[in-house]
Amino acid sequence: MHSDLLLPQRRRPPRRRFPKKYKYIFLALAVLLGLGVVAGALTELIFYFIEDQVEPSTRTQTSLVTLPPEKCQKRVVGYFNGWESREISLSQLFKLSHVIYCCLGFDANQTHFLDTIISKRRFSDVRNHARASNTGVKVMAGIGGTHYSQYFPQVAAENREFFVNSTISLIKDYQIDGVDLYWHEPDSYGGDKENYVLLVRDLRLKLTELQISQNRTTPYLLTVLTPSFGWYLEDGVDLPGLSEYVDFFNVASDDYTDSSSEALGAYTKPHAPLYYGSADKPKQNVDWTMRYYTCNTKQPEKVNMGLPFFGRYWINVLDPIAKNNEVWRRVETADGVVEKGLVLWKNVVRDGWNISNIKWDQKSKSSYIWDPENKWFLGIDDERCLKTKMNYVRDKNLGGVMIWSIDMDDYSETLLNAVASVNMCSEAKYDKKLKYNC
């Protein structure tokens, strides 16, 4: 699924420079405040204050596109990758209802949640920036993922109490608002499906106890990141069971990779299309996934549609498979291998794609770049594509969107601004009616 995205970045975009006069003010204040934890926290706030002053254009833009999530309780959930060197920005936080730092690992019988100084610092940074933003954005920790899911089966079967205790400690130690479990590819064998429900049940129980013991007014959040289609979804996940205990589902409808179909032949396709746009394989599209979740939970307000801030490319691309359909093309293999990969939105131009040549496929409602000179094809969600998906979220009364991931956006926050520009509220009142014939 997202495994290939967990690689470190090859190159880092240049950092913004601090204007000199502010630098001196900043330094002087830093000296005055001296060393120590308190000073560290305060200088961080001052940094933000100064940033506000020197970047009026960004701020103005921010206030224009900020979506107050409370208005109709629709969610804009942003995943933030822990390996990223880039820091989360205030203007990103302004456009989110929830930020999830991902992903923390663990062992069969001991917690590795935050085991290095760097991961502790990066996680704390995200939390501190979120609190300093004063927007009420909820801060959560994502646990598991492609790299750290191998112990979920064992822990969920035999060691749930250990896992729950560790999670409660994490929430208390870091004063966060909840956790998101990302059990990558739960199996239908060996009781994963049932044990997953038991794990979230036990966790929910302890979270409620913690809330009561702290006199906290709002419940702690418990959410899950779950598959978009296929075996792992239909055989591995008990949606009605989980929905009794989780606040919402972050659906990985940003990923329709299918190893079985790739074995059948080499071709390009839309990346995460709203509709399939073709008669066969009707499941590999966002519409199918959203319908499946809604019909199986009967709670559309708990379903967040996944939006990818990355795309998928192929090289050595040949002619279209069918006439008048530019997105499905044959690919020439080299020794039986298809050359393909992922591009983060922020790297599209750097990697040689001409963004002004981005095209729209009406059937699948997806965007793509076809470069006939180099014989490259890229399927990637642009602003139009994201806005179309968000209108769908509104029309189907879904709970909101989740973004994988906000650190993949460019520095102008083109994609996040597109997301924030769409009003997902259907009426003044939060409408929970089913909009599918289940």
Ligand X SMILES: *[C@@H]1O[C@H](CO)[C@@H](O)[C@H](O)[C@H]1NC(C)=O
Q: Which residues bind ligand X (CB under 6 A)?
A: 108-109, 161-162, 165, 214-215, 354, 356-357
Residue spans of alpha helices (H) in 224-340: 231-234, 239-243, 259-264, 286-297
Minimum separation from the CB atom of position 61 to ligand X (A): 26
With beta carbons less than 8 A apart as the criterion, state whether 90 and 55 touch. no
Question: CA-to-CA distance for 60 and 70, rounded, in angstroms?
Answer: 21
Nearer to ligand X by Cβ, of 106 and 229: the residue is: 106
Minimum separation from the CB atom of position 354 to ligand X (A): 4
Calculate Rg over the CA atoms of the chain. 22
Nearer to ligand X by Cβ, of 215 and 217: the residue is: 215
Position of minimal CB gap to ligand X: 108
Nearer to ligand X by Cβ, of 124 and 354: the residue is: 354
Minimum separation from the CB atom of position 369 to ligand X (A): 10
Minimum separation from the CB atom of position 202 to ligand X (A): 11
Question: CA-to-CA distance for 75 and 392, rounded, in angstroms?
Answer: 14
Minimum separation from the CB atom of position 331 to ligand X (A): 23
**370 contacts: CB under 8 Å, gap ≥ 6:** 317, 326, 329, 357, 359, 376, 377
Nearer to ligand X by Cβ, of 73 and 354: the residue is: 354
Minimum separation from the CB atom of position 414 to ligand X (A): 17
Nearer to ligand X by Cβ, of 64 and 355: the residue is: 355
Nearer to ligand X by Cβ, of 73 and 357: the residue is: 357
With beta carbons less than 8 A apart as the criterion, state whether 19 and 33 touch. no
Question: CA-to-CA distance for 1 and 299, rounded, in angstroms?
Answer: 25
With beta carbons less than 8 A apart as the criterion, state whether 52 and 45 touch. no
With beta carbons less than 8 A apart as the criterion, state whether 262 and 338 touch. yes
Question: CA-to-CA distance for 420 and 3, rounded, in angstroms?
Answer: 27
